[in-house]
Amino acid sequence: MADLRSKYVPRGITSSHPITADGARGSELWDVTGKRYVDFAGGIGVMNVGHAHPRVMQAVREQLEKATHTSFQVLHYESYLRLAQRLCEVTPIDGPKKAIFFSTGAEAIENAVKIARAATGRQAVISFRGAFHGRTLLALSLTGSAQPYKQNFGPYAAEVYQTPFPYSYRGWTTEAALADLGNLLESEVSPNRVAAIVIEPVLGEGGFVPAPLDFMRKLRELCDGYGILLIADEIQTGFGRTGKFFAVEHSHVQPDLMTVAKSMAAGFPLSGVVGRADVMDAPDPGGLGGTFGGNPVACAAGIAVMDIMRDEKLPERAARIGSVVEERMQTWAREHDMIGEVRGMGAMVGMELVRDRKTKEPADRETAKLLATARDKGLIALRCGVHHNVVRTLMPLNIPDDQLEEGLDILGASLNS
């Protein structure tokens, strides 16, 4: 298979692990040689309900028998409408809400910005350094991480401004980050030209850094003061991952719009924008959409995910997984100087590796080696971080206790080898 890959697939798309997947069930994966792995990656945070959950499979089978595609822009259908209702019901914003569906996270981000611009009549958008919002050109313009994402792909969209994320381990306290944002609004873009500020409540690809809750609240106040819309990118943090259905719930901050994707439909390509009805209704009819957006099979899977989240109490389970993982990582940190910081929110836990605890020089190669060792021992896990030196956990939230322990044992053993 490796020869097919190198011959027919461009090197621009990399795979974290050089193995060929054959099957996946729950929190386990198998490669084509039959080797088994515990899955701490979940297809990059997509499998919060686990691979091939029977209720998802059943819902998908039923929808497949009815229709696989009509395009919502031609004929609307029940799975889209019911999922929109269910998503609005769990979105932590008071008052009437509306939701629209697309296929990828990047598309959700693009559309959230379009909606915000239409609603405010303003053009500028602010995002954070280290943020990741996707690979299409506006989403990439909002992304605050050069390598490998931005490379030579510019020029980027105009009217996008970046400000530091409150990443205290790397020197950006809440106060410092807010001061820099204040400077930006004074010296580069006047606040009455800003349509929206887009933030991941926990920086995902940027290193699993939770935004302090008071930072989120101050951001909300600032947005309210200037009539700026707050967009929470919950694409990686949503659907129970952080111990609440959505990560913004920890701060009680209500965004105006939220972007969702990844675990929403258990592996079927589905994303969405949900938010205040008055804001969502700003674009004129026909201004939003896409041929495949809100595919009926993906929406049927999404409704099953909603049921599973509720019935299996997965947000609560995420909080418990998080405390088990953090405790284990803190124990390792006492034994290994290479572990600079352990941090996270719920089951979204990151362990930042450094060559020296004082200089905090990122241990990027060591992180890659650790994950390769873990893979050889039977664990699939991913790294993240602007410096590629953070081990992150994205296991299914219904992972059985023994598999959670098995995965952690492998990671611990890999640190020692």
Please identify, among the stretches 88-96, 101-109, 293-301, 306-314, the one whose residues bind ligand PLP according to the rule CB under 6 A: 101-109
- 17, 86, 98, 133: which one contacts ligand PLP (CB under 6 A)? 133
Instruction: Give the binding-site size for ligand PLP (rule: CB under 6 A).
Output: 15
Judged by DSSP in three states, 339 sits in: strand
- Taking alpha carbons only, the member of 214, 123, 200, 113 closest to residue 165 is 200
Alpha-carbon gap, residue 256 to 39, rounded angstroms: 34
- What binding mask, one character per residue, do residues 50-89 give for ligand PLP by CB under 6 A, x or -? ----------------------------------------
268 binds ligand PLP (CB under 6 A): no
- Taking alpha carbons only, the member of 342, 349, 344, 313 closest to residue 240 is 313
- Closest approach of ligand PLP to the CB of residue 321, in Å: 19
- Closest approach of ligand PLP to the CB of residue 338, in Å: 26
Residues 37-56 that bind ligand PLP (CB under 6 A): 44
97 binds ligand PLP (CB under 6 A): no
Alpha-carbon gap, residue 28 to 32, rounded angstroms: 14
Q: What angle do CA 393, 367, 385 make, to 5 degrees?
A: 60
- 26, 42, 134, 407: which one contacts ligand PLP (CB under 6 A)? 134
258 binds ligand PLP (CB under 6 A): no
The smaller minimum CB distance to ligand PLP, of residues 28 and 200, is found at: 200
φ, ψ of residue 294 to 5 degrees: the values are: 70, 40
261 binds ligand PLP (CB under 6 A): yes
What b-and-e string marks burial along 119-153, b requiring 16 or more CB atoms within 10 Å of the CB?
bbebebbbbbbbbbbbeeebbbbbbbbeeebeeee
Please identify, among the stretches 58-66, 103-111, 161-169, 376-384, the one whose residues bind ligand PLP according to the rule CB under 6 A: 103-111
φ, ψ of residue 181 to 5 degrees: the values are: -65, -40
- Closest approach of ligand PLP to the CB of residue 275, in Å: 16
Alpha-carbon gap, residue 339 to 168, rounded angstroms: 16
Tokens coding 296: 């009926």
Judged by DSSP in three states, 274 sits in: strand
The amino acid at 388: H
- 125, 189, 209, 235: which one contacts ligand PLP (CB under 6 A)? 235
- 77, 80, 132, 167: which one contacts ligand PLP (CB under 6 A)? 132
- 233, 256, 326, 352: which one contacts ligand PLP (CB under 6 A)? 233
Contact 412, 373 (CB under 8 A): no
The smaller minimum CB distance to ligand PLP, of residues 288 and 338, is found at: 288
341 binds ligand PLP (CB under 6 A): no
φ, ψ of residue 247 to 5 degrees: the values are: -65, -30
Residues 167-226 that bind ligand PLP (CB under 6 A): 200, 204-205
Alpha-carbon gap, residue 255 to 258, rounded angstroms: 7
Alpha-carbon gap, residue 219 to 248, rounded angstroms: 12
Instruction: State the DSSP code for 262.
Output: G
392 binds ligand PLP (CB under 6 A): no
- Closest approach of ligand PLP to the CB of residue 143, in Å: 8
- Closest approach of ligand PLP to the CB of residue 83, in Å: 17
Q: Which residues here bind ligand PLP, judged by CB under 6 A?
A: 44, 104-106, 109, 132-134, 200, 204-205, 233, 235-236, 261
